[in-house]
């Protein structure tokens, strides 16, 4: 068995502090897990994989802009009782950008292919943000693969846009029209986009088409088909995926429960790592140590 407890402590101290300041997954990148990292290939794509522990498999998936190290406290917590498998999803961490414009179904299928290559036919899943959305899609479309499911800050529901979002869309349409009017119009368009674009959009680089695709997906209809027990863990102050989404998911998913972390943000698992660890280990059936 490979223990990551020392790493978990240092990762939480540095990573959680930056996560609370920025609420950005890409900022939590300096945690060092000294265990098995290797590259695997599935479907013509190479990805970095982390493995630790032994026993029943648990798949840990990071969020948008993150990487394996972003979920270090979760992997460290679970490796004491389970076989942990974590991935740099294609286009993140040290895994190359995928060919084509992938959506959540493509990422889910890729995770399935990697697990098949690893000889894993059924597993528990822990996902944060986009990783949670990918896990959710797998639970709904490949129920034989997902034994239990923990979702933290999962997107996937569409809600009516706020007045601020509607205003941004109007400005964006105007900027697109301006961009058709030659160099001056293109300069106006660039200035407007720079002003109103989200940080994820600005930072996406070659992943931008994929980001646009995944943020416009609606998984609402799939929630009814999630057959595995599902635990939702959410920060009440999550401003990326509001707590109202979690409460709606709890009502729709047939076998779901919600644990709210009062005052926590989008990185609830980092805001209260020890509590998160105890809850997830209990849900997965591990001894409470």
Has residue 137 got a pLDDT over 60? yes
Q: Which of 3-12, 143-152, 155-164 has the lowest mean pLDDT?
A: 3-12
**pLDDT top residue among 192 and 121:** 121
**Positive or negative CA dihedral for 253, 265, 268, 97?**
positive
Condensed to tens digits (0 to 9), the pLDDT of residues 51-77 reads 999 999 999 999 999 999 999 999 999
Chain-centroid distance of CA 78 in Å reads 17
pLDDT of the residue at 29: 35
- Scored b (16 or more CB within 10 A) or e, 1-10 reads ebebeebbee
**Cβ(71)–Cβ(218) under 8 Å?**
no
Confidence of residue 11 (pLDDT cuts 50, 70, 90): very low
Condensed to tens digits (0 to 9), the pLDDT of residues 159-171 reads 654 444 344 334 3
Has residue 199 got a pLDDT over 90? no
The model's pTM: 0.78
């Amino acid at each position: 068995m490979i223990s990551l407890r020392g790493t978990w402590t240092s990762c939480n101290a540095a990573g959680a502090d930056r996560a609370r300041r920025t609420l950005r997954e890409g900022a939590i990148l300096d945690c060092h897990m000294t265990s098995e990292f290797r590259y695997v290939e599935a479907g013509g794509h190479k990805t970095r994989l982390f493995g630790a522990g032994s026993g029943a498999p648990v798949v840990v998936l990071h969020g948008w802009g993150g990487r394996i190290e972003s979920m270090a406290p979760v992997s460290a917590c679970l490796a004491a009782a389970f076989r942990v498998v974590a991935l740099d999803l294609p286009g993140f961490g040290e895994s190359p950008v995928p060919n084509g414009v992938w959506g959540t179904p493509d990422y889910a299928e890729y995770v399935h292919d990697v697990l098949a290559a690893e000889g894993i036919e059924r597993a528990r899943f822990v996902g944060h943000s986009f990783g949670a959305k990918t896990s959710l899609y797998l639970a709904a479309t490949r129920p034989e693969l997902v034994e239990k499911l923990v979702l933290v800050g999962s997107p996937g529901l569409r809600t009516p846009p706020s007045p601020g979002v509607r205003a941004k869309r109007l400005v964006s349409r105007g900027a697109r029209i301006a961009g058709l009017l030659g160099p001056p119009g293109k300069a106006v368009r660039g200035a407007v986009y720079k002003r109103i674009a989200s940080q994820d959009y600005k930072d996406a680089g070659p992943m931008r088409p994929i980001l646009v695709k995944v943020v416009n997906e609606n998984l609402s209809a799939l929630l009814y088909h999630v057959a595995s027990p599902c635990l939702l863990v959410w920060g009440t102050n999550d401003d990326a995926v509001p707590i109202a989404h979690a409460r709606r998911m709890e009502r729709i998913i047939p076998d779901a429960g919600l644990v709210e972390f009062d005052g926590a943000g989008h990185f609830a698992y980092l805001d209260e790592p020890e509590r998160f660890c105890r809850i997830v280990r209990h849900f997965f059936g591990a001894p409470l140590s």
